[in-house]
Amino acid sequence: MARSLLSHFPILSNSTSPLASSLSCAIAPSKCFPRHLFGRPKASSFQCLCTLSVSEPAVPETSSSVRKRIVSGVQPTGSIHLGNYLGAIKNWIELQNSYDTLFFIVDLHAITLPYETQQLAKSTRDTAAIYLACGVDTSKASVFVQSHVRAHVELMWLLSSATPIGWLNKMIQFKEKSRKAGDENVSVSLLTYPVLMASDILLYQSDFVPVGEDQKQHLELTRELAERVNYLYGGRKWKKLGGRGGAIFKVPEPLIPPAGARVMSLTDGLSKMSKSSPSDQSRINLLDSKDVIANKIKRCKTDSSTGLEFDNPDRPECNNLLSIYQLVSGKTKEEVAKECQDMSWGSFKPLITDALIDHLHPIQVRYEEVMSDSAYLDGVLAEGAARATDIADATLNNVYQAMGFLRR
């Protein structure tokens, strides 16, 4: 999801401008949902983390401090491509060193649109194996399958009772997808999908969520919903029911990587690289062979201008390919700009092809190793689900108590 949880739960409208160069604020709360709705007091201020580097903790830590928590995930639909990797998974590798991290495969989100039942389980295992192949370290991060922690669905139902339908009707992606598919082909789950996403995040009392530009509206709904539930059921109301009182949920902040959050299509530099595109030529899949990668780069869309340059709005394909080269080569933007400024496409395409092949080859080798050891992969997912369940059940029990349910 594969589309990302807010990257991604990256599941989700295309923007025409690269995230790192265009965003001045991750989310503007006042533009999504008025904070005076339902007589709520004004919510806490919103902290912008747009320029936060993923290589540095959002909050300075000491050896004695409790690590801040991050959750993220990718859908197991289709093949995980370069956009999923550079926009989400690659950043996880650095985040796991500074945060308490939970990375899961959001298989429940994968059924909001038509899907192949015969492929869902296989795709879920494939996605988990790619997480590990890309460098997710199970000694630092928990890896699990969303549907293996039942609290996700239970909390979604509880949150649904507190979610105004008007909030969901404002979701841009629902409008876009329902308009394309038609009412008869759109399920209720596509409308309520953001509530499940909120459940995914709030269950784990997440401090931060890595978020792509196309997910900022969904994260703001999560924040608003957390504040609404805290107001309706938390504080003294919860304490009177025997609870600890105070806030039921943490209100998560966005964490936006400084680069790579928007990898664009190889056939259209103004559209996001996506698994939903009917043309496989539009994307580099992480498991593509050397020959396939070379062929896709050879045929990718370019322009007729002389020299190569970043950030020219009239040359979106040029900016996208240079950005990809920068990220997979490990060079700085300045180094790439200097190296490629006088290059022709004929010289640059072999360069980026070799960089992609060299970068993806170790991932492909490690993926085959993980997939060849089913017991190891099953053990990783079981251990991750067990840890996630402990955290999720504690949150869920608090919500049941605060909402007045008979305790189990």
Q: Which helix (H) or strand (E) is 74 found in, with range?
A: strand 69-74
* Euclidean distance between CA atoms 210 and 256, whole angstroms: 6
Beta-sheet strand order (sheet of 253-255):
141-145, 100-105, 69-74, 208-210, 253-255
Q: Which residues pair with 69 in a beta bridge?
A: 100
Pick the catalytic residue from 68, 90, 216, 275.
275
User: Is 275 a catalytic site residue?
Assistant: yes
Dihedral of CA atoms 268, 289, 20, 62 in degrees, nearest 10, equals 160
Q: Which residues contact 204 (CB under 8 A, 6 or more apart)?
A: 69, 71, 102, 388, 391, 392, 395
Q: Cβ of 401: how many Cβ atoms within 10 Å?
A: 18
Pick the catalytic residue from 68, 90, 216, 272.
272
Contact 400, 238 (CB under 8 A): no
Pick the catalytic residue from 177, 216, 296, 349.
177
- Cα 223 to chain centroid distance, Å, stands at 16
User: Is 272 a catalytic site residue?
Assistant: yes
Burial class of residue 110 (count of CB atoms within 10 Å of its CB; 0-12, 13-18, 19+): buried
Sign of CA dihedral 179, 181, 187, 191: negative
* Euclidean distance between CA atoms 406 and 287, whole angstroms: 50
Contact 286, 130 (CB under 8 A): yes
Sign of CA dihedral 118, 121, 125, 131: positive
Residues with a catalytic annotation lie at 177, 272, 275
